[in-house]
């Protein structure tokens, strides 16, 4: 599943920035192949955090994952020239994904109000009560 599109990147960061990051042949246009590779890398990174917690592929993309995918793909497009702001946004999104994977937060509903399905083999723990304690000895 693709969480973001080239148009999402353009809408979020502007066509000039995406052009500068992808036009490696100086053709004067956004290189769709370079964008697709960065978006695929972002999708794979997101899936790595979602697997085991949510049934993949998701039926639809929650808006928050589009935002995450755009920041991850942008960071990848910058390669080793990422600014501090771009790097910070990437790191913030990775922290978000870790919290998502740890179950500290959950994906919200999609545009239609549906929640993503939990993975069938997801393991959840519920703390019980203490069996023994100092007062029981």
Tens digit of pLDDT for each residue in 5-59? 999 999 999 999 999 999 988 999 999 999 999 999 999 999 999 998 888 998 8
pLDDT (mean) for 109-117: 61
Q: Is residue 101 part of a domain?
A: yes
Q: Is residue 34 part of a domain?
A: yes
Q: How confident is the model at residue 64 (pLDDT cuts 50, 70, 90)?
A: very high
Model pLDDT, residue 107: 85
Assess contact for 30 and 15: CB atoms under 8 A. Answer: yes
Model pLDDT, residue 60: 86
Q: Over the range 65-89, which residues count as b (16 or more CB within 10 Å of their CB) and which as e? A: bbbbbbbbbbbbbbeeebeeebeeb
Q: Is residue 112 part of a domain?
A: no
Domain coverage including residue 14: 6-107
């Amino acid at each position: 599943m693709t969480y973001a599109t080239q148009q999402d990147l353009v809408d979020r960061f502007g066509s000039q920035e995406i052009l500068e990051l992808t036009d490696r042949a100086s053709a004067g246009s956004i290189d769709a192949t370079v964008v697709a590779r960065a978006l695929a890398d972002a999708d794979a990174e997101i899936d790595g955090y979602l697997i085991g917690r949510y049934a993949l592929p998701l039926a639809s993309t929650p808006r928050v994952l589009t935002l995450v995918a755009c920041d991850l793909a942008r960071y990848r497009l910058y390669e080793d020239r990422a600014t501090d702001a771009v790097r910070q946004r990437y790191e913030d999104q990775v922290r978000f994904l870790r919290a998502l994977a740890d179950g500290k937060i959950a994906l919200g509903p999609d545009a239609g109000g549906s929640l993503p399905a939990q993975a069938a083999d997801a393991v959840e723990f519920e703390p019980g009560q203490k069996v023994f304690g100092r007062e029981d000895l």
